[in-house]
Chains A and B, each alone.
Chain A
Amino acid sequence: MTQRLREELLFIAVLAGAMGVALYVAAGYPFNARLMPQVVSVAVLVLLGVECVLTVRRSRASRDNAVPAVDGKAQHEPLWGAKFRRTAPYLGWLAGLYLGIYLIGLMASAAIFTVAFCRLVGKMSWLSTLIGVALLMAALFGLSEAFNMRWPVGYFFDPFR
């Protein structure tokens, strides 16, 4: 069994688990509220069973007719391997942005995040970075004023509150 197949079967199992829980929980609702979720979750469970078989068969077929790699990447690359290693730093940036929003609010963390990302990842010049960030902040303030939009404020402090 290939790594990719294991991952796909795990994904299907997680979906099936979620549908099983939904089916169980829905049983406690009144008829009108449970009819649709029960019908749909049963249909999903049946189709997931079919899809499970098809996935295994597809995996066997593709192993027998191995597709050559394109641009150094396999056609059906596993997620938890090289792909995750390539992606993890950006998920880290995203987590950092969320932490920033939680601590100091959206406006301040947006400014810090965009400057840091443009400089460190985008390799942009200071001038381009500052122009981009200034335009973004101006647009956010403009929207805020025009449409009375609100931003998430920070847990500790928010300089733009």
Chain B
Amino acid sequence: MLAAAFDALALVLDPSRLVFMLLGISVGLVVGILPGLGGVVGMSLLLPFIYGMDPHAATAMLIGMAAVIATADTFPSILIGVPGSAGSQATILDGYPMAQQGKAGRALSAAFSASLVGGLIGALVLFAILPVARPLVLAFQSPHLFMLTVLGLCVVGLLAGKYPFRGILATLIGIMIAMLGSAPSTVTFRFVGDSVYLMDGIPLAILAMGLFAVPEIIDLLADNRAVSKVKEVSSGWKDGVRDTFRNRWLVLRSAALGVAVGAIPGLGGSVVDWLSYGQAVQSAKDKSGFGKGDVRGVIAPESSNNAKEGGALIPTMLFGIPGSGTTAVLLGGLILLGIQPGPSMLTSDLSITLTIVWTLALANVVGAFACFLLSRPIARLSTIPAAKFAPFLLIVMLVGAYQNTNQWGDLVAFIVIGLFGWLLKSYDWPRAPVLIGFVLAPSIERYLTISASRYGWSWLADPIVIVIGVLAVGVVIAGVRAKRKGLGET
């Protein structure tokens, strides 16, 4: 295995392939920095170019792109309070307040160094776990996956925002939005009326941009201010790196959690940062700073969302079950290249597998350093008044929205969801759970349908299901009590 690993490293470092990895990294940086876009969009952009390419170069380009998105998406999360992708939502909770306090530099450098460590751990675990992962992944059946998804949604709903019931409600509203369009396993179109556009449902990118970017821009313009309330944002770079090393156990715990959650199909991207944020809050002795600009609230999600890429590749490569939206498109790319994910990834296509592992590690290193280099000029953006950048950002988002289906419905959906997001923000309803509910709705519905049709209702008596169910109820009760205590509610 080690000899094969070094052969794969030589393949990756071959200049003709290295160029493609760097190209993928560059695209990943741009996609990560642009709010609302994410791994799925980036993969979709690169996919048309891999036809006929050398499989090693093509996979290096795709993995290079995917690996750095979780690093670069920190910029919009911290600087403008908009998630660069689904996996960087929790970073906003403390990263954005830090930027508003003029600590954008510290927040960014802590995020990049934590991302680097997390990404490397993800690649290392992927390498170590490949031969033994099969029984682990197969141990999860539909009822367990359904309950795990429910647990993830409960945690997300409770952690986001000030009011726990609103968080859970927002999650459910996200699920209901995802119900628009065709229903799985039947030929029914739900809640679409006469609209042809809605038959395919609302695209994820439109929901993400509408919910987050539009309300932020409207409020920044209405308040006539820049993102950062403090003019100086460039200090604290070394402090951020020190913060990461000072919280090394948190980084390691979060990375381990990231790999584990990433490896569970369907859970990955949009939940891992919240779970990681939750464990950071739970394990902290002093919880008072969380949500107000605590650097640990940046380090934990950033470490885990990079590490989860390694985890998500485990089921993708070994069973052809994508661990996330990004790996779903990657799976399509591998098949286009003539590579059939499955046990052959450990035999005849082992060199491809190891190329992926090396690319993941190298791209994390290169991506983190590139982000460090770009940080200062990009961080200065947060001091520019909104009126000077809002029109450009708005046009870019409209263009991005229109690329989903090339219909006017994209633009209408974008603005309708944007106004809905503005109402949610204005009335103190959390928006991130809406997005997560939306993302996980197809999985949760699929798992529920499969569980009901395969096991009837007997799956509810499964011991693992009961344990996860009790855990979910416990999490809700504990979360509601903790929040009420914190708010001083009666």
Q: Which of B166, B176, B385 contacts A51 (CB 8 A)?
A: B166
1/0 per residue B415-448: CB within 8 Å of A? 1000000010011100000000000010011001
A90 touches B165 (CB 8 A): no
B186 touches A32 (CB 8 A): yes
A150 touches B445 (CB 8 A): no
A22, A122, A150 pick with most chain B CB within 10 angstroms: A122
How far is B198's CA from A85's CA once the two chains are assembled, in angstroms?
33
Confirm or deny: B284 has a beta carbon within 8 angstroms of a beta carbon on chain A: no
B402 touches A118 (CB 8 A): no
How far is B333's CA from A66's CA once the two chains are assembled, in angstroms?
58
With contacts A36-B448, A37-B179 taken as known, whether A101 is within 8 angstroms of B411 at the C-beta atoms is yes
B394 touches A44 (CB 8 A): no
Q: Which of A54, A122, A136 contacts B395 (CB 8 A)?
A: A136
| Chain A residues within 8 Å of chain B by Cβ, number | 57
With contacts A25-B191, A48-B169, A51-B169 taken as known, whether A19 is within 8 angstroms of B176 at the C-beta atoms is yes
Task: Indicate the size class of the contact surface on chain B.
Answer: 35 or more
Confirm or deny: A74 has a beta carbon within 8 angstroms of a beta carbon on chain B: no
Confirm or deny: B194 has a beta carbon within 8 angstroms of a beta carbon on chain A: no
Which residues of chain B are near A29, meaning CB under 8 Å? Answer: 183, 186, 188, 190
Q: Which of A48, A94, A140 contacts B415 (CB 8 A)?
A: A94
In the complex, which residues 61-104 of chain A have their Cβ closer than 8 Å to any Cβ of chain B? 61, 76, 79, 83, 86-87, 90-91, 94, 97-98, 101
B interface list, Cβ under 8 A from A: 45, 163, 165-166, 168-169, 172-173, 175-176, 179, 183-186, 188, 190-191, 218-219, 221-223, 385, 387-388, 390-392, 394-396, 398-399, 402-403, 406, 408, 411, 415, 423, 426-428, 441, 444-445, 448-449, 452, 488-490
A interface list, Cβ under 8 A from B: 7-8, 11, 15, 19, 22, 25-26, 29-30, 32-33, 35-37, 40-41, 43-44, 47-48, 50-51, 54, 57-58, 61, 76, 79, 83, 86-87, 90-91, 94, 97-98, 101, 106, 110, 113-114, 117-118, 121-124, 132, 136, 140, 143, 147, 149-152
